């Protein structure tokens, strides 16, 4: 029996698993489609039912892969997708969402995000999001790559307080948000989605991460994911197109790390001592 995946509550009262699945780089190569669909389905079977995608990924190809993976099981999953900033006018937001729905083969997106800030006024994008909500095409909306000052600006815009999540770069080697953005979101009940949670694989060679993981018969990826998962209101979305790694990543929930080992990890990956501008990939 697998240990349960902790859950995170969105402001609209919906609970989602704190460990989901990313899809960046899926849908780019037809030869990889089988493995991508199989791994997403394996993840759904294991309870990683939140799937993060975007119109950007594979130029729409990733959304098509997600659509195939969720065929016949739409109600088991929570779909997150994103609009490009240059599509985020009022009309453009609505059209982009409709195209995403077609590729996903569904009639609603559970959470729709502005991928990063662009030139359209926030008020216009939000008006588009609110219209999509009113028509049932999305259930909630949020943002991505917003720093604390962006979030403050957002809350001052009409309906801006309806923001349901902020998706940002967060992993052991990118801890800047712990200084201000993370506590700011936590205190307001706005979930933070941690993207690139294993820094696209680059942190897995860290000697201290390897040493501590070994002590628990765990992998470095599992320890890096467990580090994020223990934080309140954080949703972690590792991407893998390999079903065995889906299993490995799922099992990070069973890691029970001592305070002493977390401190050793802090020494190897120091938390921020002052404000750092939000980084993005």
The residues assigned a catalytic role are: 57
Q: Is residue 89 within the footprint of ligand NDP (CB under 6 A)?
A: no
Q: Is residue 65 within the footprint of ligand NDP (CB under 6 A)?
A: no
| Other beta carbons less than 10 A from residue 68's beta carbon | 16
Task: Please identify which residue in the block is written with the tokens 């609209």.
Answer: 12
> How many residues would you count in the chain?
281
Closest among 154, 159, 158, 157 to 185, alpha carbons compared: 154
Q: Is residue 19 within the footprint of ligand NDP (CB under 6 A)?
A: no
User: Which of the stretches 8-16, 21-29, 88-96, 134-142 binds ligand NDP when contact is defined by CB under 6 A?
Assistant: 21-29
Task: For the CB of residue 134, give the shortest distance to ligand NDP in the complex, in Å.
Answer: 25
Q: Is residue 128 within the footprint of ligand NDP (CB under 6 A)?
A: no
User: Which of the stretches 66-74, 99-107, 147-155, 245-253 binds ligand NDP when contact is defined by CB under 6 A?
Assistant: 245-253
Task: Output the residue with the shortest Cβ distance to ligand NDP.
Answer: 22
Residues 159-188 that bind ligand NDP (CB under 6 A): 167
- Which are the contacts of 269, defined by CB distance < 8 A and separation ≥ 6? 172, 173, 175, 203, 206, 209
Q: Is residue 242 within the footprint of ligand NDP (CB under 6 A)?
A: yes
Specify the DSSP class assigned to residue 82: E
Q: Is residue 196 within the footprint of ligand NDP (CB under 6 A)?
A: yes
Task: Please identify which residue in the block is written with the tokens 């993370």.
Answer: 182
Residues in touch with ligand NDP (CB under 6 A) = 22-24, 52, 115, 144-145, 167, 195-201, 204, 221, 237-242, 245, 248-249, 281
């Amino acid at each position: 029996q697998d240990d349960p995946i902790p859950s995170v509550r969105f402001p609209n009262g919906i609970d989602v698993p704190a460990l989901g699945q990313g899809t960046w780089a899926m849908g780019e190569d037809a030869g990889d489609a089988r493995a991508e669909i199989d791994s997403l389905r394996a993840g759904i079977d294991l309870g990683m039912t939140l799937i993060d995608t975007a119109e950007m990924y594979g130029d729409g190809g990733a959304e098509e892969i997600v659509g195939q993976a969720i065929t016949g099981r739409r109600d088991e999953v929570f779909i997150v997708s994103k609009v490009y900033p240059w599509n985020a006018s009022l009309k453009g937001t609505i059209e982009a969402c409709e195209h995403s729905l077609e590729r996903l083969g569904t009639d609603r997106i559970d959470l729709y995000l502005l991928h990063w800030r662009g030139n359209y006024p926030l008020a216009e994008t939000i008006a588009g999001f609110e219209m999509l909500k009113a028509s049932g095409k999305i259930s909630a909306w949020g943002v991505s790559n917003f720093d604390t000052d962006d979030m403050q600006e957002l809350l001052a815009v009409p309906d801006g307080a309806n923001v349901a999540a902020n998706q940002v770069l967060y992993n052991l080697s990118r801890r800047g948000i712990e200084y201000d953005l993370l506590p700011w979101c936590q205190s307001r009940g706005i979930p933070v989605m941690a993207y690139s949670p294993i820094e696209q694989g680059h942190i897995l060679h860290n000697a201290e991460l390897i040493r501590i993981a070994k002590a628990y018969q765990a992998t470095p990826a599992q320890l890096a994911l467990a580090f994020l998962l223990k934080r309140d209101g954080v949703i972690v979305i590792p991407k893998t197109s390999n079903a065995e790694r889906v299993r490995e990543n799922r099992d990070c929930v069973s890691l029970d790390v001592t305070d002493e080992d977390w401190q050793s990890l802090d020494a190897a990956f120091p938390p921020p001592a002052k404000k750092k501008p939000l980084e993005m990939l």
